[in-house]
Structure 1
Amino acid sequence: MSAGGEHLKDEGTKQQVVIAGGVAGLVSRFCIAPLDVVKIRLQLQVHSLSDPASHREVTGPVYKGTISTMKAIIQQEGIRGLWKGNVPAELLYVCYGALQFTTYRSTTQLLAQLPTQHRLPLQLESFVAGAAAGGFATAVTYPLDLLRTRFAAQGTERVYTSLSASVQEIIAHEGTAGLFRGCSAAVGQIVPYMGLFFASYETLRPQIAHLAFIEHYLPLSSSDAAAGVCASIIAKTGVFPLDLVRKRLQVQGPTRTRYVHRNIPESTGVLHTLASIMRTQGVRGLYRGLTVSLLKAAPASAVTMWTYEQTLRVLREAEIAS
């Protein structure tokens, strides 16, 4: 996306933005799928790593870091275990990417039509547009996010046999509301996250583009990727506890004790889950899995923004050529 406020609103037609956003989501998801599975497993693990006594009642695996978790999954479930939940996740990322960038574009265009005296500063405008885009895309695609988490949480025992069967079983035993379990935490997390992300991205991208060595030594608009990495780290760290709460809430229900971690505690809401984690695990418990989350989020954002910018450029050049 362009650094200048005015040009940002006019990049590509709505159809081009939808296609570019969908392609960006598809490519990004495939690249970071293993780290996503590792992150979810670590977020759902509730026993203390520093207290071996807490492991005695644990029947599932005990994960102790990104690399060791990845090795354990491969040993116990095969290489395909790192891509568990990839089908709903790919659908999620494609739909989410298309909705996110379309809503972001529409919101920024709407804000650009405000009278000059009421125009927002670029960073605040980007924050508002990013928050709106993230909130809307998250709410619409949330059932796919829940399914992605539940499939990734499965160990050698298959809780759900297929995507369609999982939807039918959840509706039958938990009602339609079961597909939106934890949605309030997701929206509560994504609104400030996407606001911070796009505000940071639009601020950092032109600054990074001025660093000659970035474009000289790295190919194809690498300032997009570099700005995406920095913006993602800033935003993800700020809202991570809500992301962890969302994962805990997504695996509640009648299948809670059947996932790879058998001792996931029962949670009834965002505040209850936050209080429970603080009481049993302290502040550090709220950031369980942050390292791998940043390892995942940074390259994911870099790949997403780079792919989006390059796909949009190709589509626009093809339109001009025709």
Structure 2
Amino acid sequence: MGHSQKSESNIDHAIAGAASGFITRFLCQPLDVIKIRFQLQVEPISKCHGSKYKSLPQAFLLILREEGIFALWKGHVPAQLLSIVYGMAQFYSYNVFMKTIQDISKIEERNHFIYIHFIAGAGAGSVATIASFPFDTVRTRLVAQSNNHQVYKGVLHSCSSIIRHESPKVFFYGLLPNLLQIAPHTGLQFAFYEFFIDFYKKYTSNTDTSFYNSMFSGSIAGLLAKTIVYPFDLARKRLQIQGFQQGRKGFGKFFQCNGLLDCLKVTVKEEGVQGLFKGLVPSQVKAAITSALHFTAYEQVLLLLKLLR
């Protein structure tokens, strides 16, 4: 990333970002499906309750038994579109922001400060989120609906239904809490990643960003960043299903709220502070794996593009 920006073009960063998004999404989609199911369940996620989902292994096996293996890749097409557009926009704009900040502040490559990576990462995350957000709403609704009460038949059908029966604005429901979450989240992710990349290099005397360095730094960066901003992620998912009661039959009580602050307030009132961190464990596992794969695939594709020149 910051360490080799001068030698690659912006297009290389866009291609590497898109490829990274595709690979990561395909491998991590099952964890994402379980995480969303946890977030949308109002009842506690515990064994001593009459809840549908009680733990990560139980949810995994229950979805397999009730809905089959393909349910773990439910909403995969819009998720892939989301990931490719997001990955491309994120790494492309991160590269542009880094170059711009360096030009303005005249900071030497080797003297980067963490805050510069944070600012560039926050900007890149915001650009990528706005560009890919409609796919995220469609994906959430496809994952949220039960197989027995299907409202949407697929991506195109869900898009046309939302436009016909609701409004195009629906595609951007939950955008504000998402930006509030994504800007610091991506900023922290890039800042932590660069910090651990340098830390790893210092202690292993390896000047290149190796496969292992990317995996190690990416996983820790993802875990730390996700934990810090998690309540906003939960609020976003709950806002995206407002007005979608019919697709949620059989999943327990329906969660209703108006806007971000109300969503956080109602969650704490009904489920306690721990309700804000519902689904955190699969989310942390997913964040560590996803972030490691995301950065590593990106770095490896960049190296490949350099070799192909």
Mapped partners of 1:232, 1:264: distance in 2: 30
Mapped partners of 1:108, 1:311: distance in 2: 20
Offset at 1:188?
0.9
Mapped partners of 2:61, 2:105: distance in 1: 57
Offset at 1:97?
0.1
Map 1:49-64 to 2 at 5 A: 49=45, 55=50, 62-64=52-54
Structure 2 length-normalised TM: 0.93
Q: What is residue 156 of structure 1 aligned with on the other side? A: 147
* C-alpha distance after superposition, 1:132-154 (max 9, x if no partner): 00011101110101111111112
Q: What is residue 21 of structure 1 aligned with on the other side? A: 17
Poorly superposed stretches of 4+, deviation over 6 Å? 117-120
* C-alpha distance after superposition, 1:241-279 (max 9, x if no partner): 0000000011112x2242252422212100000000011
Offset at 1:11?
4.4
Q: Which runs of 5+ in 1 are unaligned?
A: 56-60
Map 1:105-184 to 2 at 5 A: 105-116=95-106, 122-157=113-148, 158-184=150-176
Mapped partners of 1:204, 1:301: distance in 2: 13
The answer to which of 153-162 and 184-193 deviates more is 153-162
- Corresponding letter in the other structure for 2:293: V
Q: What is residue 58 of structure 1 aligned with on the other side? A: none
Mapped partners of 1:195, 1:109: distance in 2: 16
Map 1:231-270 to 2 at 5 A: 231-253=221-243, 255-259=244-248, 261-270=251-260
Q: How many residues align?
A: 305
Q: CA, structure 1 residues 214+147, in 2 after alignment: closer, same or farther (shift >3 Å)? A: farther
The answer to which of 107-116 and 205-214 deviates more is 205-214
Q: CA, structure 1 residues 285+11, in 2 after alignment: closer, same or farther (shift >3 Å)? A: farther
Mapped partners of 1:105, 1:228: distance in 2: 17
- Report if the CA contact (8 A) 2:41-2:252 is conserved: no
Does the residue aligned with 1:64 lie in a helix, a strand or coil?
coil
* C-alpha distance after superposition, 1:284-321 (max 9, x if no partner): 000000000011111111111111000000101111xx
Offset at 1:159?
1.8
Map 1:297-308 to 2 at 5 A: 297-308=287-298
Mapped partners of 1:258, 1:279: distance in 2: 25
Q: CA, structure 1 residues 121+35, in 2 after alignment: closer, same or farther (shift >3 Å)? A: same
Q: CA, structure 1 residues 306+274, in 2 after alignment: closer, same or farther (shift >3 Å)? A: same
Mapped partners of 1:76, 1:184: distance in 2: 35
Does 2:306 align with 1:310? Answer: no
- Report if the CA contact (8 A) 1:229-1:301 is conserved: yes
- Report if the CA contact (8 A) 2:177-2:233 is conserved: yes
Q: CA, structure 1 residues 213+86, in 2 after alignment: closer, same or farther (shift >3 Å)? A: farther
Mapped partners of 2:190, 2:239: distance in 1: 27
* C-alpha distance after superposition, 1:31-56 (max 9, x if no partner): 00100000000000001345967x4x
- Report if the CA contact (8 A) 2:14-2:92 is conserved: yes
Q: What is residue 74 of structure 2 aligned with on the other side? A: 84
- Corresponding letter in the other structure for 2:169: A
The answer to which of 228-237 and 202-211 deviates more is 202-211
- Report if the CA contact (8 A) 1:40-1:247 is conserved: yes
The answer to which of 22-31 and 147-156 deviates more is 147-156
- Report if the CA contact (8 A) 1:25-1:304 is conserved: yes
- Report if the CA contact (8 A) 2:45-2:55 is conserved: no
Q: CA, structure 1 residues 49+225, in 2 after alignment: closer, same or farther (shift >3 Å)? A: closer
Offset at 1:9?
3.5
Offset at 1:15?
1.2
Offset at 1:208?
1.6
2:198 to 200, 203, 206: 206
Structure 1 length-normalised TM: 0.89
Mapped partners of 2:226, 2:14: distance in 1: 24
Does 2:68 align with 1:68? Answer: no
- Corresponding letter in the other structure for 2:30: P
Residue identity (%): 36
